[in-house]
Structure 1
Amino acid sequence: MRDTSAQNISAQKKELRRRMTVIRSNVSAASRREQSIVASLLAENEVLSPLRKSRGGRLNVFCYVSFRDEPETLHLIQTCLKRGDRVLVPKVISEERKLTLHEMSNVNNLSPGVWGIAEPGEDMPQWPTLRYTEIDIIIVPGLAYDRCGGRIGFGGGYYDGFMEQISSIQSTGLIPIKASLTLEEQIIPGRIPMEEHDFRLDMLFTASGIIYI
């Protein structure tokens, strides 16, 4: 039986998800697009470009493909492709509750997958799990964030599982930066209720500036 503390955190998360789903959906499409583009430009200028220089050029960038009222990631993805980065995008394997990563060369090769989310087409090669150690930066989705690296998603556990995979094979090599492209409205004033399996972010890309954790 789960203890009272765990039950309280679960209840807090449920309420936060309910509230933030409404808040995010009320952000206008124009504001979401503008914030996403400005945040992506800041991410490129302040984080990605210096990271390329420090790591010898091409980056391995893992980035989700935005869906519905999520911050739009295609501008960031296209910028990375233009800069010569290797861009990896996720595919949901719902029956196994996991993600697979696929190398993307063109945004036009995406097609609707699970829940209608744009996913890699059949021609996009899968990135081997053992090469996850080569990823330089991971950009994940979320519903809400705090300024201490706390994040909450929809509760499916796909990205928690992915981060566990990363941790289990990260005995050598560089530790990837964990970040999110974030609307201002998604940042809460307090703290995200966190459980043991939840991971924290290193930075948030927002239109008003990069938040370094």
Structure 2
Amino acid sequence: MKRRDALKNIGAAIGYSAVIPTAFNLLQSCTSEKEKWTPLFFSVDEAIVIKNLVDLILPKTDKTPGALDVNVPQFIDLYAYNVYVEEKLEEYRLSIDSILKALPIPETGAIDLKYEDYDNLLKKYLKASKEEKQQYISDKNITYEALINLRNQSVWAYKTSKTIGKDVLAYDPIPAVQKGCISVEEATGGKAWSL
């Protein structure tokens, strides 16, 4: 059986959470040479848009690496290519297409989009008022749903990366002692636990 078929069967049979160990392997297999990334699922324009949106969703800070530093766009591309079944692929393709249609892409392609174009899109949908969000939901706005999904995928991929798991989150590969009734500050220095 091919690896792709095995991943699809695992995901379909057991569900989203069962794919997590396999997803770790996918994330670790992403190349660290971002310039040489050739998307397997996304088109060139889609890859450019996803990369820029993910960078805005999880930017690099003084204390933490950004989504681009841990290859989140590459992971999302590999995950869609290796795990989604045909029906899910079509649905995902439509959602990504809705994001591209919401951007003012010039004739020269997504490469010429400006930072403000991406920022305005994210502000419109992800920083919308409660009433606007309710309207997007009631209208079944595909772009809104696609951006929520992209944000969720990005955070999931980011938190499951080796770099974030070991260097940013609290990490103990062999937890030996259970301490009850202590503060998070005392237990992990205020950090969330790595998976």
> Rg larger in 1 or in 2?
2
- Greater strand share, structure number: 1
TM-score computed with the length of structure 2 as normaliser: 0.31
- Greater helix share, structure number: 2
TM-score computed with the length of structure 1 as normaliser: 0.29
